[in-house]
Amino acid sequence: MANESGQQQDIDRAGFLLTLRQRGIGDQAVLRAMEQVPRAAFVPTGSLTGAYADQALPIDCGQSISQPYVVAYMTERLALKPHHRVLEVGTGSGYQAAILSKLVREVVGIERYRTLADQARERLKAGGYNNVEVIHADGMDGWPDRAPYDRILVTAAADEAPAALIEQLADDGVMIMPRGPHNGPQHIVKLAKRQTPESVTLDEERLIAVRFVPLLAGKAREL
Residue ranges per structural domain of the chain: 2-210
Strands (E), 95-141: 106-111, 132-136
Predicted TM-score of the model (pTM) = 0.92
Higher-pLDDT residue of 8 and 161 is: 161
Contact 189, 212 (CB under 8 A): no
Q: What fold does the segment set 2-210 form as a domain?
A: Rossmann fold (3.40.50)
Residues 6+ positions from 128 with CB-CB distance below 8 Å: none
Residue type, 114: R
Enumerate helices (H) and strands (E) in the chain, giving the number of each.
6, 9
Contact 81, 150 (CB under 8 A): yes
Give the pLDDT band of residue 12 (cuts 50, 70, 90): confident
**Helix (H/G/I), strand (E/B), else coil: 80:** coil
Q: Pairing between strand 149-154 and 200-210?
A: unpaired
Residues 6+ positions from 178 with CB-CB distance below 8 Å: 154, 155, 156, 157, 158, 186, 187, 188, 189, 210, 212
**Helix (H/G/I), strand (E/B), else coil: 49:** helix
Residue type, 214: P
Does residue 13 register a pLDDT over 80?
A: no
* pLDDT value at residue 201: 87
Active site residue ranges:
66
Does residue 221 register a pLDDT over 70?
A: no
Does residue 180 register a pLDDT over 90?
A: yes
> What does the pLDDT average to over 101-108?
98
Contact 94, 120 (CB under 8 A): yes
Residue type, 144: P
> What does the pLDDT average to over 98-106?
98
pLDDT digits (tens, 9 = 90+) for 19-75: 999 999 999 999 999 999 999 999 988 888 888 999 999 999 989 999 999 999 999
Percentage of the chain modeled with pLDDT above 90: 78
**DSSP classification of residue 67:** P
